[in-house]
Amino acid sequence: MWELFLSIAIIFVLLEIFVPSLFFINFALSGVACAIISLFTKSIPILTISFVVFGFIFLFTIRPIFLKLKSENTQKTGVEEKYIGHIATVIEDIDNNNGAIGIYDERWQARSTELIPKGEKVLIKSVQGLVFQVEKYN
């Protein structure tokens, strides 16, 4: 009987791989739990109810943790850690549509709500794609 639940767990893992929603992984974990339980009992109703109950318990307890970890990992990038909050030099006049800054011997596109002339120092506030949002540094 444990083979059946282990097979179900593998199917749910494959579903999670092809449909990455952090939904099916909960039922894969439930399948593993029921495979372990099936070593102690062979009752199909008990195992079926256990599978459903564990599935929903994992869905409402582990899924939020997975989603939080996933969102924390996707929010931080190397660009943000390396550049945001640092000072750069304007190498092309910056306005709302054009401009560039130099930092770490690199050239980056930059935008600002105010006109910032070449040679000024700017503070990098955020990044949108590959364009930095900057403001004058006092």
Q: Both tokens of residue 62?
A: 């582990």
Measured CA to CA, the distance from residue 106 to residue 135 in angstroms comes to 18
pLDDT band at 76 (very low <50, low <70, confident <90, very high): low
* Percent share of the chain, pLDDT over 90: 57
pLDDT of residue 67: 79
Which bin fits 103, alpha (ψ -120 to 50), beta or left (φ > 0)?
beta
Q: Can you name the residues that pair with 90 across neighbouring β-strands?
A: 101
The whole-chain average pLDDT of the chain stands at 88
39 vs 66, higher pLDDT: 39
| Overall CATH class of domain 79-136 | mainly beta
With pLDDT > 70 as the criterion, what percentage of the chain qualifies?
92
pLDDT digits (tens, 9 = 90+) for 5-22: 999 999 999 998 998 788
Domain with CATH 2.40.50.140 in the chain: 79-136
